[in-house]
A and B are shown apart, each in its own frame.
Chain A
């Protein structure tokens, strides 16, 4: 008789982790949506960051059991959410899709959600959370008449009405005005401070900055980075960069650039120079004196890979 295989997670899991994702992949036919991703989430706010189509929504769907991983395991509070419906009592999801039940009011929708979660006083709890997201529980209008921002808040209300310990929010700030965003971010932090794991997906870097320090970056279905946001931000800011420089003396300036220690590549294309630099900050300080020394006039210095997609690609390739 062979001994039972020992479970060895791909990472060290913190003792307080509420969500553990271990070597998870998900594919649809030939399309790999998520590839060998491992991470864990502890209480507090964690941002799931990545460009559109990176696999964030697929990951969230697997976290709450809506989709079964093709390989690997997802556990929430130590249980597989797909095969243990009781785990759903500890999960709240505000999905990305905008569709809502066209024939329900906000109160009816949130109350139904509370009832199905076994909440004792469903009506009172539904009213309480609708107030929490600044909506009127007595509003008799049907959900389709609500603005996008209001619908987002209704979705959030139904996700937290049963006070789950794991809250998954898929792009929850889209459609909200700046004041509502601030209020929602404060609410996320409040929920996180209560010991809940609040996982908020977003493709907007600046938005994630407000969520807090924990970030999981997913790009092209792969885990690009995980950890403290400030470290990841520094990593993003300090990555090698490519710049386009326009000058009246491109050859002379290019020759001067070649000798610089933070320059790893120089290409001339007509009047334009493309430069690869390992430190954008040092380069920015050096370029003006250098061009003056080379007696070349600078017309333009333009980063070529400043978009978020490039940042994510760098993190994946790292």
Chain B
């Protein structure tokens, strides 16, 4: 105890991210949340079953996938999990236990993001794939699954950031979903470019001949932009963790 220099450098990402991930993921598996996600997923499957029995089953199926699964199920389910991921830790003053570690802040942001995505993928992608499969239009299964994955990837980043940055992150996320994604993005092509949904429905449209509203993006952009949104959002979350006072 004679030296006055700090010990070794920071903990490696290989060690810290899995440790963060385990703690954070465990917190997501509450009964209430699983029930809410189950209800959202169940509605998707139910609507698909109804659509498959209609006269114009394919059009109805595409409508269900685009206007319920992509427009509501993915963002709402993601909002339920991603916004409270760090937001609740801030609110409950528990973030201190994860923050005060010899770990670069991006490790915590990345682990939180990974926990959100891992918690969501099964409860969002599987019901959407099931919905597409139940209708009997096999060509939709792949694009629908891909759109669901990309949706989870992009929305998780955005809502994680909102939850970490703002006390009212959950409500801001809901406002963004209702106002921007579902209303303002329909006003002009320029505004639609800033809507995650438009990229997802573009991916879905690749599986059908039916035209989908807002599906006007380039194929490459539909894959790249959601991923880019996630990377930027996780980076900004790390920046927030670096610069904000922790309670």
Contact = CB atoms under 8 A, between A and B. Distances in A.
Partners in one complex: yes
B246 A67 contact: yes
Contact of B6 (A89, A100, A109, A113): A89
Nearest to A155: B97
Contacts of B32: none
Interface size range on B against A = 35 or more
B103 interface: yes
Interface string B86-112: 000000111011111111110000000
Contacts, number: 103
Contacts of A196: 1
B23 A101 contact: yes
A76 B19 CA distance: 26
Interface in A27-55: 43
A194 interface: yes
Contacts of B104: 85
Interface in B48-100: 92-94, 96-100
Interface size range on A against B = 35 or more
Interface in B1-41: 1-2, 4-12, 15-16, 19-20, 22-23, 26-27, 29-30
Interface string B171-200: 000000000000000000000000000000
Contact of B100 (A43, A65, A97, A165): A65
A89 B103 CA distance: 9
Contact of B245 (A66, A112, A118, A158): A66
Contacts of B105: 85
B19 A115 contact: yes
A298 B22 CA distance: 70
A18 B20 CA distance: 29
Given A77-B4, A112-B23, A66 B99 contact: yes
Please name the 5 residue pairs, one residue from A and one from B, whose CB atoms are nearest each other, closest first: A195-B1, A89-B102, A115-B19, A118-B11, A116-B101
Interface of B: 1-2, 4-12, 15-16, 19-20, 22-23, 26-27, 29-30, 92-94, 96-105, 245-247
Interface of A: 16, 18, 43, 61, 64-68, 76-79, 84-91, 93, 95, 97, 99-101, 103-104, 109, 112-113, 115-118, 158, 165, 194-196
